[in-house]
């Protein structure tokens, strides 16, 4: 069931509260001022939200630093949502091995609406990172290497559905990107190469400092997510990075996919890459 924000059933305060919980999860430990700055909401509104989440025990407040972080209770929200557990379990040793080999952080992400959600990463295992990203961090599907890698290889019906979802709330710049995507030229190039790239991400921290190479992860010939390698844009030109890392990224994604396909009990549903 799809509900537009103008629908009378849409509860704005609940949506804001969930967004605040997401902000604390992704950026915590975080101060009230930082949460207000990131959310763009008034300070008093954010204070009430954080107080409520704290009283309901979804976040905790450190007395000494006055910073908020999520509690273990947040994990209970994911109880019964097991789709990505097997992916993380299978991918983790491969991510670690890849980072040990090339010294850059690697991650896996899966699609969710118009975003790609990071499920696991090795940012904490290397000094070659400008920011530590944790599970739950999201990037725009249409404008990220992981998103483009997944979109390029999913079925045409699934791709069309996702593009329509993104287009529903797209600004002028994003609408232009969607129109290009609908022509399938870029996705055709990604399918031919086997990987997607994104130079100088504007949505990573700090903006414009990282570039990414990503390859799709398949289970039973269905793309269920993507593997990405993140490197400093100042270290390699795009061509150099492709020559150095693209084959390794694709091979690692293939190994993860093969292991997922071999799992016959408790796996990821095929529907993520199908309409």
Q: What is the CATH number of domain 12-74?
A: 1.10.10.10
Q: Is 134 exposed, middle or buried (0-12, 13-18, 19+ CB in 10 A)?
A: middle
pLDDT value at residue 264:
46
Tens of pLDDT along the chain (275 residues)? Answer: 344 556 677 888 888 999 999 899 888 889 999 999 999 999 999 999 999 999 988 899 887 888 998 887 776 666 545 556 788 999 999 999 999 999 999 999 999 878 888 999 999 999 998 887 778 888 888 889 999 999 999 988 888 888 887 887 777 777 777 787 777 788 999 999 999 999 998 877 788 899 999 999 999 889 999 999 999 999 999 999 999 999 999 999 999 999 988 874 444 444 445 44
pLDDT value at residue 255:
96
Q: Is 227 exposed, middle or buried (0-12, 13-18, 19+ CB in 10 A)?
A: buried
- CA 252/CA 262 separation, integer angstroms: 16
Q: Are 241 and 208 in contact (CB under 8 A)?
A: no
Q: What is the pLDDT of residues 139-166, one digit of tens each?
A: 888 889 999 999 999 988 888 888 887 8
pLDDT value at residue 83:
54
Fold observed for domain 85-273: Beta-Lactamase (3.30.450)
12-74 and 85-273 have identical folds: no
Q: What is the pLDDT of residues 174-225, one digit of tens each?
A: 777 778 777 778 899 999 999 999 999 887 778 889 999 999 999 988 999 9
Spell out the alpha helix ranges (H) of the chain.
12-27, 32-39, 43-55, 73-76, 85-102, 145-153, 156-167, 172-182, 185-193, 238-241, 247-262
Domain coordinates in residue numbering, the chain:
12-74, 85-273
pLDDT value at residue 32:
94
pLDDT value at residue 241:
97
pLDDT value at residue 13:
87
Cut 0.85: pTM above it: no
């Amino acid at each position: 069931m799809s509900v537009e924000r103008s629908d009378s059933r849409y509860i704005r305060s609940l949506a804001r509260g969930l967004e605040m919980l997401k902000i604390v999860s992704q950026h915590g430990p975080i101060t009230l001022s930082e949460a207000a700055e990131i959310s763009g909401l008034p300070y008093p509104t954010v204070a009430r939200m954080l107080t409520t989440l704290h009283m309901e025990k979804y976040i905790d407040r450190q007395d000494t630093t006055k910073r908020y972080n999520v509690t273990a209770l947040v994990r209970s929200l994911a109880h019964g949502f097991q789709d990505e557990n097997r992916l993380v379990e299978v991918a983790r040793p491969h991510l670690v091995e890849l980072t040990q080999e090339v010294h850059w952080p690697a991650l896996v992400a899966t699609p969710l609406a118009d975003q790609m959600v990071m499920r696991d990463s090795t940012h904490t295992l290397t000094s070659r990172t400008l920011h530590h990203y944790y599970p739950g961090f999201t990037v725009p599907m249409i404008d990220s290497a992981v998103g483009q890698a997944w979109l390029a290889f999913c079925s045409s019906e699934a791709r069309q559905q996702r593009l329509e979802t993104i287009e529903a709330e797209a600004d002028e710049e994003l609408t232009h990107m969607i129109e290009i995507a609908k022509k399938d030229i870029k996705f055709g190039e990604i399918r031919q190469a086997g990987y997607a790239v994104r130079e100088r991400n504007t949505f990573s921290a700090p903006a414009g400092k990282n570039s990414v190479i990503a390859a799709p992860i398949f289970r039973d010939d269905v793309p269920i997510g993507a593997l990405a390698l993140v490197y400093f844009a100042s270290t390699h030109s795009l061509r150099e990075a492709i020559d150095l890392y693209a084959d390794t990224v694709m091979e690692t994604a293939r190994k993860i996919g093969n292991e997922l396909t071999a799992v016959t009990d408790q796996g990821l549903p095929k529907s993520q890459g199908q309409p």
